[in-house]
Amino acid sequence: MAYVIPPPPVVALPIRDRADLFPVHRIFCVGRNYAEHAREMGHDPDCDPPFFFAKPPDALITDGTFPYPAHSQNVHHELELVVALAKGGFGLEPERALEHIFGYAVGLDMTRRDRQEEARKMGRPWDAAKAFDHSAPCSEIVLASAIGHPARGNVRLDVDGELRQDGDLAQMIWKTPEVIAYLSRLFTLAPGDLIFTGTPKGVGPVQRGDRLAGRIEGVGELQVEVV
């Protein structure tokens, strides 16, 4: 098969203790999945069903740098557990959802907060706020067969050695099986899909030169410099 332009390269994540890579199909993100974060953003967590937005696969970065985006003056960090799927399907049941997971990673849902607030006021989509270039720093994947399926564990982000986010996976409103099942009723999930599962409270702005150190207990760490 010939193409009129070169096809894009496969986007992939490294896997801990393995030489082969995990090819990424799509990136889904859960909004407001921690009650205190929903409240700090001015929303009632008890009134909202889960909702999702997307990032393009090539928003992933694994080299430890985050280029500060143009046309923004207020860019925030959001540290999240990332789920990598080995199997897909439509209409999955929560009781079987964990069987579809390949592994887990630590990710940052970087957000142009100024563009998000602008979009919210004008009733427009969030694409420019969430799906911009380099907006998804991510760690290597650790196999679920190695660590199990974490349902609790500290979620912590430091910026230049100062604690910013400090939560626990147990605080997620919709747990990982529920997230996968609900999402599978909106989309036919596929091998290679990633799900960013939401962030705890404490999100805030980053500046050029900041060094971000994220850690999810039992999963891994992510080091990122804002450049």
Supply the pTM of this predicted model.
Answer: 0.95
State residue 122's pLDDT score. 92
- Lowest-pLDDT range of 30-39, 86-95, 133-142, 190-199: 30-39
Give the model confidence (pLDDT) of 18-29 as tens digits: 999 999 999 999
Confidence of residue 148 (pLDDT cuts 50, 70, 90): very high
State residue 31's pLDDT score. 87
Residue 36 or 211, more confident? 211
Confidence of residue 156 (pLDDT cuts 50, 70, 90): very high
Residue 130 pLDDT exceeds 80:
yes
State residue 67's pLDDT score. 98
Residue 47 pLDDT exceeds 80:
no
Give the model confidence (pLDDT) of 90-106 as tens digits: 999 999 999 999 999 99
Give the model confidence (pLDDT) of 162-214 as tens digits: 999 999 999 999 999 999 999 999 999 999 999 999 999 999 999 999 999 99
Dist CA 68 CA 114 (whole Å): 13
Residue 65 pLDDT exceeds 90:
yes
- The angle at the Cα of 30, spanning 206 to 203, to the nearest 5 degrees, equals 25
Confidence of residue 1 (pLDDT cuts 50, 70, 90): confident
Averaged pLDDT, 50-63: 96
Dist CA 195 CA 28 (whole Å): 5
Averaged pLDDT, 84-90: 97
Could you give all domains of the chain from N- to C-terminal order, each with its CATH number? 21-226 (3.90.850.10)
Residue pair 77/201 in contact (Cβ under 8 Å)? The answer is no
DSSP for 15-72? BTT-SSEEE---EEEEES-BHHHHHHTT--TTS---EEEEE-GGGEE-SSEEPPPTT-
Q: What type of residue sits at position 60? A: L
